[in-house]
Amino acid sequence: MPEFDAVVVGSGPNGLTGALELAESGRRVLLLEAAPTFGGGLRSSAELTLPGFTHDVCATVIATALASPALRDRLPGLGVRPVHPEIPAAHPLDDGPAVLIHRSAERTAAELGRDGAAYLATVGATARAGFPLVDTLLAPLGMPKAPLALVRYGLAGALPATTAAKTLFRGPRARAALAGMAAHSMLDLRSPISAGYGVMLAAMAHLVGWPVVEGGSQVMADAMVARLRELGGEAVAGHRVTALKELPEAETVLLNVTPRQFAEMADLPEAYARRMRRYRYGPGVFKVDWALDGPVPWRDPAVGAAGTVHLGGTLEEIAASERAAVRGRVCDRPYVLLVQPPDPSRAPEGKRTLWAYCHVPNGYDGDMTDAIEAQIERFAPGFRDLVLARHVMGPAALESHDANYVGGDIGGGAADLFQFVSRPVPSLQPWRTPIEGVYLCSSSTPPGAGVHGMGGLMAARCALRRAGVRSSLRM
């Protein structure tokens, strides 16, 4: 008799969630992680800059975890404490006060003036639809829980962000704010569905906030591993799997890997293998972490209360930056996504941690440090004077940190319309593979990128249904 019922390869959010789902349903689970520490995109480090500073290497903001049906009910029992900034997000501008995305949609709309009503009718309505709409979007192949809300969301969400911004809003402030949200998608903002990413992310700021994990994202990963062990599972770090034949015998295998790794690990039918090899990866990321001597000196002091800051100015400027990355170029003034964690435990008293990244062509080998810091200086003059130390990770370093970040793509593959509906292949059960009992569960499967665990949940449920076992968690 096999020692384990299931083996999970990779301990990112999806692998961890899949392992817990299987273990909570009575399966004996072995979790294998190639890196020395568990977590994948949830790892933190106290060694990037200076002693006493804790930095999240990738994921920091856990809005999707608090909204996800895979994690929102699990996290409280794990002892994971979210720390909320006073303001979820801010978008500084050159010629006036920053756009502030408050927890209240109404307060946010009030600051948008004549565009406030349109904001409430789109982002506000999405937030009011609540978890039923979120569940529908994060489990896109199931029965819609909120069909009318889904239709309303889709009317704007299916559009390119540039089109939606110009159609919905008359002023540059609201247009810029939507562009900053939509650029999280790493798409050309003239692409269909790019508006949908922006509307949903903004709505989550109102629905659940944009918090960070107290003590660092690693705390969340470690808590999930501890829970797996409590359930009788085994977790082994520093164990790299290069081929399926290396795994112990088990009825179920969940692979938190992207199509490229899967094609290298398994002997696949040729047609499926071609799809894996042709899977497209999106732009990469160039990331900088800083240890600072104090808070960022934002020109608009209100930005200091925001956890996440979008730097890039106008809709037109952000759209140009994102289009360049998709087309294999970089901009002198890139769109920069910045996080200033509202968690004092991450730095010595009076000091701060900060990170930011910009999007670059996949596999880019240049240095964007000066361009990123210039964008911060643009809205926070004197920022460089506070830098005690910095740590830089380009696409190659990010892929070395996590093999799923192919060419620096932290999203598990291009998130355009085609791959949104065929991720990684067109199928009603895209987590299943042609190999019996083997399932993919990475962000290269629906619903895509984010700390939501849904790829792991859906893959585990496919496996449990196949085995005739009832899942532990209902949606």
Q: Pairing between strand 387-393 and 284-292? A: antiparallel
The pLDDT score that the predictor gives to residue 285 is: 98
The pLDDT score that the predictor gives to residue 242 is: 95
Give me the DSSP letters along 401-421: H-TTSGGG-TTSS--SHHHHH
The pLDDT score that the predictor gives to residue 471 is: 55
Residues 200-213: what's their mean pLDDT? Answer: 98
Q: Are 90 and 302 contacting, i.e. CB atoms less than 8 angstroms apart?
A: yes
Q: Is the pLDDT assigned to residue 472 strictly greater than 90?
A: no
471 or 204, which is more confident? Answer: 204
The pLDDT score that the predictor gives to residue 261 is: 95
Q: Is the pLDDT assigned to residue 63 strictly greater than 80?
A: yes
Q: What is the pTM of this model?
A: 0.95
The pLDDT score that the predictor gives to residue 291 is: 98
Q: Is the pLDDT assigned to residue 475 strictly greater than 60?
A: no
Using only C-alpha atoms, the chain has a radius of gyration, in whole angstroms, of: 21
Q: Is the pLDDT assigned to residue 427 strictly greater than 60?
A: yes
Residues 129-136: what's their mean pLDDT? Answer: 96
Q: Who contacts 52 (Cβ-Cβ below 8 Å, separation ≥6)? A: 46, 347, 348, 351
The pLDDT score that the predictor gives to residue 470 is: 59
Q: What distance in Å separates the CA atoms of residue 61 and residue 24, rounded to the nearest whole number?
A: 26
Q: For residue 428, count other CB atoms closer than 10 A to its CB.
A: 6
Q: Is the pLDDT assigned to residue 1 strictly greater than 60?
A: no
Q: Pairing between strand 55-56 and 44-45? A: antiparallel
Give the class (CATH, top level) of 6-48+59-80+213-281+410-467: alpha beta
In the structure, what pLDDT confidence band is assigned to residue 141 with cuts at 50, 70 and 90?
confident
In the structure, what pLDDT confidence band is assigned to residue 144 with cuts at 50, 70 and 90?
confident
Residues pairing with 288 in the sheet:
356, 392
CA distances (Å), 367 to each of 242, 285, 309, in order? 31, 11, 22
Q: What distance in Å separates the CA atoms of residue 381 and residue 300, rounded to the nearest whole number?
A: 11
Q: For residue 390, count other CB atoms closer than 10 A to its CB.
A: 18
Give the three-class secondary structure for 308: strand
Residues 463-475: what's their mean pLDDT? Answer: 69
Domain ranges of the chain: 6-48+59-80+213-281+410-467
Give the three-class secondary structure for 339: strand
Q: What distance in Å separates the CA atoms of residue 368 and residue 327, rounded to the nearest whole number?
A: 17
Q: What distance in Å separates the CA atoms of residue 312 and residue 172, rounded to the nearest whole number?
A: 13
Residues pairing with 56 in the sheet:
44
The pLDDT score that the predictor gives to residue 302 is: 98
In the structure, what pLDDT confidence band is assigned to residue 146 with cuts at 50, 70 and 90?
confident
Q: Shortest CA distance to 472 belongs to which of 19, 130, 143?
A: 19
| pLDDT tens digits, 347-364 | 999 999 999 999 999 999
In the structure, what pLDDT confidence band is assigned to residue 469 with cuts at 50, 70 and 90?
low
CA distances (Å), 149 to each of 64, 67, 120, 169, in order? 19, 16, 14, 21
Q: Is the pLDDT assigned to residue 67 strictly greater than 60?
A: yes
Q: Is the pLDDT assigned to residue 473 strictly greater than 60?
A: no
Overall residue count recorded for the chain in this entry: 475
The pLDDT score that the predictor gives to residue 467 is: 79
Q: What distance in Å separates the CA atoms of residue 195 and residue 192, rounded to the nearest whole number?
A: 7
The pLDDT score that the predictor gives to residue 287 is: 98
Q: Is the pLDDT assigned to residue 93 strictly greater than 60?
A: yes
